[in-house]
Structure 1
Amino acid sequence: MTNAYLRAFPATDAGGNVTRRVLSDSPELMVVEFAFAEGGVGALHSHPHVQATYVQAGRFEFTIAGETFEVGPGDSFVVPSGAEHGCRALEPGVLVDSFTPRRDDFL
């Protein structure tokens, strides 16, 4: 295996006390790490991509399509295409999101 499969992406400020780092991508799929400070906010938004979220660390309050729930380490869920969603970090934490297709706006 060559390093052609490995790309280094820098962390970027995503706003709201959140940093974003693309971990891997292809046109069909993207994996992104979001690191939140306590109280960090992922503002309500929607996009055409299907999103799967895995809570690596921390506790978060999520809202998806008007429904609010709390998640913690090891929890995982899917955000449907077009669903308005957002979150707030109840403590410092890390989310790992997968998007299909790739979020070209993150590159």
Structure 2
Amino acid sequence: MFVNSYPEVPADEGVTRQVLSENSDLMVVAFRFQAEGAEGKLHRHIHVQSTYVESGSFRFSINGSEFVVGPGDSFVIPSNAEHGCVCLSPGTLIDTFAPRRDDFL
């Protein structure tokens, strides 16, 4: 049986990141936002990203388009799209990356 042994680490102010599972083709990561106003700063990467909102609410920006998401919502962020979010109420995002984000290991 596999047991997750990856630690929870600081990501941005008020945000932690924990790798839940990974191999070279795919990675699943939990981002936990502790407070309203915590941000996932605008950034881009080569990985395709799928985001699932486990809890909380967030305002996302993808290539300049903004939208609000809450529990149960999910969406895909294309490769190299500039994106980020602001926490509207504390919660957790589950992000999947293809291929794996080696910079998170």
Q: TM-score range by the shorter chain?
A: over 0.9
- The 2-side partners of 1:14 and 1:68 are apart by 22
Tell me whether 48-57 or 14-23 shows the greater mean CA deviation. 14-23
TM-score by length of structure 1 reads 0.94
Q: CA RMSD in A?
A: 0.8
- The 2-side partners of 1:51 and 1:72 are apart by 17
* Aligned equivalent of 1:39: 37
- 4+ residue segments displaced more than 3 Å: none
Task: State the shift of 1:15 in Å.
Answer: 1.6
| Bigger radius of gyration among the two | 1
Counterpart of 1:20 (choices 8, 13, 17) is 17
AA in 1 matched with 2:80: G
List alignment gaps of at least 5 residues for structure 1: none
AA in 2 matched with 1:92: P
TM-score by length of structure 2 reads 0.96
List alignment gaps of at least 5 residues for structure 2: none
Q: How many residues align?
A: 104
Percent identity, please: 58
